[in-house]
Amino acid sequence: MRGLMQHGALTVDKILDHAARWHGGREVVTRSIEGPIVRTTYGQVHDRAKRLSNALLGLGVAPGDRVATLAWNSGRHMEAWYGIMGLGAVCHTLNPRLFPEQIAWIAADAGDRVLFVDLTFLPIVAAILPRVPSLEYVVVMTDPDHMPAFAPAGDAPHFKGLLCFETLVEEHSADASWGGFDEETACGLCYTSGTTGDPKGVLYSHRSNFLHTLITLQPDVMGLSQRDVILPVVPMFHANAWGVAFSAPATGAKMVMPGAKMDGASIHELLETEGVTFSAAVPTVWQMLLQHLQATNGQLTTLKKVVIGGAACPEMIIRAFHDDYGVEVVHAWGMTETSPVGTLSTMTEELAQLPYDQQMPYRLKQGRPPLGVELKLTDDEGARLPSDGTSFGHLKIRGSIIARAYFKGAGGEILDDEGFFDTGDVATIDARGFMQITDRAKDVIKSGGEWISTIEIETIAVCHPKAAMTAVIGVAHPKWDERPLLLVKLKPGETASPAEFLDFLAGKIAKWWTPDDVVFVDDIPLGATGKIDKKLIRQRMKDYVLPAVAATAS
């Protein structure tokens, strides 16, 4: 017997329809690429997005076609998103932090036909156009007064023209028909960072993005409401801005978009002038903000909660927000393949009753999965491991917002026999259900048959008062296979000895986890998503030999 309830396809155009109908006057504020602060509303975003849908139809874009964006967080970027998705095309967010050769490969693999681009990234577009034969039009997200002179860096016979965003909006009607297609229709496309092999496309459906939006609104996830003012520092080109570009209009929350300026001073200015209550970003952004606040004696008068993900969050950031500014930090984990919410370190009722210091071990973990997400740990043979907080295993995930395959079948079968996706992370899950990432599977150090967590050592070492950034890799050892090496980038003007850092770690980690050496470096490279690029570090350190090993050899 089937239920007798109405059925409506879960398509994301309905999110902006709802925002325009019930929260039409709520602001979307942008620090524009041209400079000034620009204010619009959900009603205006809705109208302009529909005009862009008609413009795209006029350019020959059809449902299922891929339309790319190469842009910062802005009201215009929101309009492009919904204009693309509303007509049934696929919004493909390109990451400008990749090398031009990588961007060209990704755009060509996706078969992008139209590209919306910010002025900032026109040099990238000029370089990639000859390498992307499917790309016919480039829409510059500006007004006629700021339209640039432009020419591809090479022959691009497929390229039909450079168009002005504001001219397209002005020239087309808002009478566009949205939706009307199956909820499993492809909606968005985002490629992995490609740290191993070529990048792979994650193809979101309207249904998965709609369900992900409902998940983010759970009180134990982001808990957003119409009363919030949201600053998504995490880019819209990074895993859907963690879903905030859907979640905010779904509730009618005011949005504040930072554009290209994401330094500590610029973020602080927006937080204070716009009355931001909620924000989300990777740890490096919050480190810059805290450094700015400390240097200027700045305050956070309206901010209540920040979600920090993308990399392990050091304890010093969590404590500084809580102790100095009264802001709650929610540590989160996810990935492109999970839409991206996977887990959050929201305190359970039991833990919330404990003193803050006793909560800290759980706040440092990546947390518990929300309704709609399932986790398991397995050993190398695929057997399940217990949730005892000590058993290290391969982290696998399942749910309606989790990828079941990559675009064009890249990578082949990616699910196990129970339908779980292998995240590539090594983790533990404790008796309270809190998951903790201990490493990427390719980064974990295997020493004497046991695993050592590089992430745990890094998050402790970076709390040393002289450390600006730290990284740990495994290096070859004749007896133990691998031993940890700690790399430290010091704060400007500081000097230190290896013994200072080894003494700092003593008593905070297992003795046999202690790094065999500490190397001070001028730079610790970050990848395109803001994570430490250990692949590049290993390449740089490929000729390094541990002192004890070198002494034995001599």
Active site members: 192, 337, 446, 451
Which DSSP letter does residue 306 get? E
Contact present, 472 and 484 (Cβ < 8 Å): yes
**Count of positions (residues) in the chain:** 554
Exposed / middle / buried, residue 465 (Cβ in 10 Å: 0-12, 13-18, 19+) = exposed
- Write a three-state SS string for 347-405: CCHHHHCCCHHHHHHHHCCCEECCCCEEEEEECCCCCECCCCCCCCEEEEEEECCCCCC
Strand 278-281 and strand 229-232: pairing? parallel
DSSP code of 313? Answer: P
Q: Are 205 and 199 in contact (CB under 8 A)?
A: no
Spatial CB neighbours of 495, under 8 Å, sequence gap ≥ 6: none
Strand, coil or helix: 451: strand
* Cα 433 → chain centroid: 23
Place of tokens 């690429």: 33
Q: Residue 262: helix, strand or coil by DSSP?
A: coil
Rounded Cα distance between 530 and 283, Å, is 9
Instruction: Let me know how many helices (H) and strands (E) the chain has, helices first.
Output: 18, 24
SS3 126: helix
Evaluate the omega torsion of the peptide bond into residue 235 and state whether it is cis, within 30 degrees of 0: no
State the Rg of the chain over Cα: 24
450 phi and psi angles, rounded to 5 deg? -115, 160
